[in-house]
């Protein structure tokens, strides 16, 4: 019998699917909600996981704030065990300039704003003790050699509605969105009393996962290059399979070893310091206040 619910965004494939698989195998009392854009793919994932009585699919398109709002409403109406964990996992990296249904730049909209709306919309549904885990990336830190452009945080408004020049750099948009994940996690932790409220917040770098599907929006030529070099990359540090990183992500969400730990950042299983900019409270406040405004603009 399940007694606790965990929500995982992007749980139909890659890291999210492996996190769900590991979570189901850990404890029989967890019910997993797959928050996915395509319910058909979510139902196929449930069939693969082999625990249909312990899983549910609720549609959640992070590129649409209306869809996120509908998810929150549907979750509240569902007859599910109390919510004790949220895993903000879904993410994308685009090469072409795209925008969400709400006119927000797509990478910022999905990787940050959609999750911001989801988490803040679910806070009053959390039953303590509860955990929120935000999947970030080592690419947010310019001190690390990742082969990706350094993030460039000007203002949240500029990230949401970039100039033509800024919008053209898809890889930098991605690393900046990962910095936003860190800023959001730390600001959320501060606003929740740094664990004193019974809700903890941690962030996670899963490492480079060549089989994760993150390059799905690349051009055919770039996807071919990625498939060729992917196996070679596994020889480098912090390059992991989705199964390994999924196990580590699940542990942050439910393992008793992380009970009460909040405001921390993990590279795989190891706690480390995040980038210098990730601790910038002025940037975090700008991001939070702009995100609130963008969400409220759609819902009013």
Q: What is the pLDDT of residues 157-166, one digit of tens each?
A: 999 999 887 6
- Write down the catalytic residue from 153, 174, 265, 266: 174
- Per the document, the length of the chain is 300
- What pLDDT sits at residue 1? 84
Q: Cβ distance 294 to 160 under 8 Å? A: yes
* Angstrom distance (rounded) from CA 139 to CA 159: 17
Query: Exposed e or buried b for every residue in 152-167, given b needs 16+ CB within 10 A?
Result: bbeebebbbebeeebb
- What pLDDT sits at residue 91? 96
* Angstrom distance (rounded) from CA 193 to CA 260: 12
Phi first, then psi: give them for residue 41, nearest 5 degrees. -70, -35
- What pLDDT sits at residue 243? 94
* Structure tokens belonging to residue 279: 């601790």
* CATH superfamily of the 4-208+241-295 domain: NAD(P)-binding Rossmann-like Domain (3.40.50.720)
Cα 15 from chain centroid (whole Å):
10
- What pLDDT sits at residue 226? 45
- What pLDDT sits at residue 238? 64
**pLDDT tens digit sequence for 98-156:** 999 999 999 999 999 999 999 999 999 999 999 999 999 999 999 998 889 999 999 99
For 137, which DSSP code? -
The reply to whether 174 belongs to the active site is yes
Residues of the chain with pLDDT under 70: 166-167, 209-238, 240, 298-300
Cα 46 from chain centroid (whole Å):
20
């Amino acid at each position: 019998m399940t007694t606790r619910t965990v929500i995982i965004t992007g749980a139909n494939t890659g890291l999210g699917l492996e996190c769900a698989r590991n979570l189901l195998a850990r404890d029989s009392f967890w019910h997993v909600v797959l928050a996915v854009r395509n319910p058909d793919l979510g139902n196929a994932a449930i069939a693969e996981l082999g625990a249909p009585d312990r899983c549910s699919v609720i549609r959640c398109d992070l590129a649409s704030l209306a869809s996120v709002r509908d998810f929150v409403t549907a979750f509240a109406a569902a007859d599910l065990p109390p919510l004790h964990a949220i895993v903000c996992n879904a993410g994308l990296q685009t090469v072409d300039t795209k925008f969400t249904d709400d006119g927000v730049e797509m990478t910022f909209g999905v990787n940050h704003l959609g999750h911001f709306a989801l988490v803040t919309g679910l806070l009053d549904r959390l039953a303590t003790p509860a955990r929120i885990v935000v999947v970030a990336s080592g690419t947010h830190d310019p001190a690390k050699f990742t082969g990706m452009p350094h993030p460039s945080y000007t203002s949240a408004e500029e990230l949401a509605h970039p100039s033509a020049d800024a919008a053209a750099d898809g890889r930098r948009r991605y690393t900046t969105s990962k910095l936003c994940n860190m800023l959001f996690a730390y600001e959320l932790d501060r606003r929740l009393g740094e664990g004193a409220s019974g809700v903890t917040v941690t962030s996670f770098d899963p490492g480079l996962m060549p089989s994760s599907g993150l390059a799905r929006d690349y051009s055919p030529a770039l996807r071919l290059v990625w498939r060729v070099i992917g196996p070679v990359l596994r020889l480098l540090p912090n390059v992991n399979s989705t199964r390994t990183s999924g196990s580590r992500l699940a542990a942050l969400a439910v393992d008793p070893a992380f009970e009460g730990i909040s405001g921390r950042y993990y590279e795989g299983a190891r706690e480390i310091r995040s980038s210098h900019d990730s601790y910038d409270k002025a940037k975090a406040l700008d991001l939070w206040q702009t995100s609130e405004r963008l969400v409220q603009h759609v819902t009013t």
